[in-house]
Chain A
Amino acid sequence: MKILMKGNEAICEAAIVAGCKAFFGYPITPQNEIPEYMSLNMVKAGGAFVQAESEIGAINMCYGASASGVRVMTSSSSPGIALKQEGMSYLAGANLPCVIVNVSRSGPGLGGILPAQGDYFQMTRGGGNGDYYTPVYAPFSVQEAIDLIFKAFDVADLYRTPVQMVADGMLGQMMEPCVIEPRAAINVDKSWATDGNSGKRPRNIVNSLNLSAEGLEQMNKERFARYQEIKKNETMVDNRVKDGDEIAIVAYGAPSRVAVNAVDELAARGIKAGLIRPITLWPYPYDVFQNLPSSVKNILVCELSMGQMLDDVKIGVAGRLPVHFYGRCGGAIFEPAEIADAAEKIVRGGA
């Protein structure tokens, strides 16, 4: 049955239905509906909810819960996610699954509470210390956020990695019709878990410390082999570019909805544009830029930042086409007409 739900609350309900048994968080706008919803409904579902003393406390509680083998989630917003980076590095180092939701805001520093996409580098380039990545999902609708939460828990378990989801105040606060139904559970071996199996098997140790160079190098190589599998199996993109389109607009997350309107507006102006919407920011769908129709002569990247995903588009395009950028930041959100104007200027020349 379709219900009307806020993005933040839908993320929680999907997590509970996906079997998340523990949530640890700390308040920050614009993600506060998440701990609020979890404080009531995680407990009703028989799970654990703790409002931690800080973001750092919360992410380390996730480490402990995950090590015991349960599905666990935390959430925060940009500056709070920055505080969690140490814990995320430890999770990655200890090969622990965990879902981290970033309902991002504008920065740097404490910044503001309005939508922005300035956390792209932090989310897609590791963020904490050491050699690691985390898969990053960027939904653009409430329903997609639900679908990707199920996916995030599965991917975290399958590849033993922390997984991030990025939303913003727009997606978190908006209501849309959506369906939250149980999905087929994946079968994952968690025989590594420290679940108190009193002497019936060899002792499990969950740790990221390894003082032997050979040992740690081996651990990192094994992790990167899993990253190769993630790249092969889990890369997601919504590619709406059709044969005949003159320009491809690249945008992600809730702000890409403005680009959807801009494509319509450009059609009304007689310009054929197509949207490329990366759904995973890591692994990034670089391949999509290798197979564009020959009609596409320009790429326009639109972000609510000074240009961060722009770097990945340039890597994907590899110099074959001009890559342009239009962005707003600080909490300002582009209007469809702004994107359409930028695209029109490029297509008609003069940009």
Chain B
Amino acid sequence: MRLTFVQLRAELRRVAGNGEQLLLTLGIPVLLLVFFSLVDVLPTGTKDPIDFLAPGILALATMSTAMVSLGIGTGFERSYHVLKRLGTTPLGRPRLIAAKIGAVIAVEVVQFAVLIPVAYLLGWSPGSPNWLLAVVGVVIGTVAFAGLGLTIAGRLPGEINLAVQNGLYLVLLLLGGMVIPFAKLPGVTRAVAHALPSGALADVLRDTLSNAGTQPGRSWIVLGAWAVATPVLASRLFRWD
């Protein structure tokens, strides 16, 4: 346990000292939340855009940390042989992975501690949110996104991994029902969006927090399927150097 905490501290120090990751995990979600709440240009279909945006941005924050931030960081560690060197210490791979999961959860706690009050300040009134179920959704989503991020990071060279993770982030943001409602997407694209982990998590959070999910039962299944498939894929494809 001690070694896991030693590594967790190192992981958190690295995240805190990395401006790009802070921008990605906190800056962009806060900016999107504030901007699109105050500037009503999105076809949210709700009286107040914040009611649509808040759950979507929480899903976006989860994806930013669990997939992009973890994936880019791990990809560079692999390229720089950091993982290989750590693999020769008593830390071992299971503790290294536990520390990385711990770091993701810690960052998500900070993200939510900032985003939720900001959303309330912007007028979010979720009614009777089921926070416990929302947390379950975030945990499953975290597993799904982390598996996806590590699958990509475990195969591609550092710079290409960076580009792919950022590109995927943009695609999942736009197609994931996070800032643009599923109903506004064309037919085939809408079906794809519902099958994506981003779309599923956004829908699950919108349902648990605002009772406004479009197809919550199916979204839970989709999210669960991604959470099983991507870690299996990552464990099979991941290369440590």
Indicate whether A and B interact: no
B: which residues have CB within 8 A of A?
none
A: which residues have CB within 8 A of B?
none
